[in-house]
Amino acid sequence: MDPRERGEGIGVDARGEDPERLQSAPAPVGAGEGRVRVGTAMDADYLPFHPNPSKPRYTPPPGAVDAHCHVFGPAARFPYAPERKYTPCDAPRERLYALRDFLGFERNVVVQATCHGNDNRALVDALIHSHGRARGVASVGRGVTDAELDALHDAGVRGVRFNFVRRLVDFTPRDVLAEIAARIAPRGWHVVVYFEAQDLPELWDFFTSLPTTVVVDHMGRPDVGQPVDGPGFGLFRRLLAEHRNVWSKVSCPERLSKSGPPGYDDVVPFARRIVEEFPDRVLWGTDWPHPNMKSHMPDDGALVDVIPRIAPTPSLERRLLVDNPMRLYWPEVAAARAYTEAFADIPGTVVFDATQSRLGYGLNQFCMSLMNGENRAAFKADERGYLAGWPMTGEQREAVIARDYNRMLALGGNIYFIAKIGATDGHSFQNLAAKMTGVPEDAYRAMMIAGGRSPRGNRSRSDPSR
């Protein structure tokens, strides 16, 4: 198998080296020659993240967000908290972002882990170096200042995490947590809560009193050995049904499953039930680098392949992976996207925004290469062979071969770039516009001279009478 199909180098391989596809990721400070530094104080029973995750069979929709993941260290730059309950191996941002690209995601939500305590420097570093493609959930104490909260917000933090899992953290008084929640609410932040299912009755009143959106990690860790319609999981579903500010992550089947990998079949009915009942309040994440796993270390590619089993329709997949996390963590981008998507109802209109730009990057790079005479000759001599050298999807290549310019636009092409293909074929821009409009060139020319196409009947795809 091609090592790229196994993701070699994303984690720790035999030599600690990156494969060719990941050479752009710099080695973490103190790692040496691309190696992921495994701290000497790592717990003896700690399992490092999977060294060679498989390439998922499932392809996430464009704009998909891994909404629950972590960064650890590197300890040489960002030491672990003295009060930590475990010492992990380093899992730096370079590895996280390489994994994101390998699995087919566009963005991350990085959650502060307990091994760093309230020292959010590693988290902030990861956000700053994400170029806007990551948001964060921090951990703060009662003494955090407004200036510090402002700095966290500027870095990309949009929430705080309250951890109630006793084996991971020491007890924090509820009045302290309530005070923190009251301070972050005006900033539009939310609270992430992590707890065990058996503790929900005790925590119910506190959770429902919080003045923010409340995101529950990993479905509240249900006992998947019990029926999905049983009273235990029923209480959690009731929490979501009665409190519309409560969301749930349907992540971490590897932590909940008794049947185990690769399919984690016993967790699927629980996650699917939450996704189908509360489709606008669910999130998904890898939980990389999977801290404190004892039974096994999951293959991240296999975790991604669980997604279509818990979100069985394209609409549910899009809400789980794109719409919901964008609305919660990038509301300004989501609002702008909703605005541009409104134009999709206008025939012949494709808005070339950042999402389209990323989707069509390889296609547009190919088009621009045709400005060079030698490249034009190479393309005309062997179109499929030339296209194979560019990072394009099969759909994009077939659209080029068929000279389907409207399809190229839908697949991320920019009209000014794809016009280079027409020029290579000896066609004018007017000829291309006629082809895309579906009329002969003479008719198109006459229509434009007469003032252009009538707006009547061309204002709306959904209402042709307009």
Query: Which of 75, 78, 99 has its CA nearest to residue 25?
Result: 99
Quick check: 191 and 213 in contact, CB under 8 A?
Answer: yes
Q: What is the greatest pairwise CA distance in the chain?
A: 79
Helices (H), 218-323: 231-242, 253-256, 268-277, 300-304, 307-310, 314-318
Between CA 15 and CA 35 the distance in angstroms is: 8
> Exactly one of 66, 287, 300, 323 is catalytic; which is it?
287
Quick check: 261 and 228 in contact, CB under 8 A?
Answer: no
- Which strand ranges, in their side-by-side order, compose the sheet holding 134-138? 65-69, 107-111, 134-138, 157-163, 190-194, 214-216, 246-249, 282-283
160 alpha carbon, distance to own chain's centre = 19
Query: Which of 46, 134, 60, 138 has its CA nearest to residue 94?
Result: 134
Quick check: 49 and 288 in contact, CB under 8 A?
Answer: yes
Listing DSSP states for 138-203 in one string gives E---TT--HHHHHHHHHHTEEEEEEE--TTTS----HHHHHHHHHHHGGGT-EEEEE--GGGHHHH
CA angle, 121 then 124 then 129, to 5°: 125
Between CA 352 and CA 413 the distance in angstroms is: 8
C-alpha distances in angstroms, 131 versus 4, 128, 180, 278? 25, 7, 28, 31
Residues 6+ positions from 277 with CB-CB distance below 8 Å: 237, 240, 241
Token reading at 466:
């307009």
Token reading at 262:
């690769």
Known catalytic residue at 287: yes
End-to-end CA distance of the chain: 55
Residues 6+ positions from 216 with CB-CB distance below 8 Å: 192, 193, 195, 236, 239, 246, 247, 248, 249
* Three-state DSSP class for residue 247: strand
Half-sphere exposure of 189 (CA within 13 A, CB side): 27
Looking at the annotation, which residues are catalytic? 287
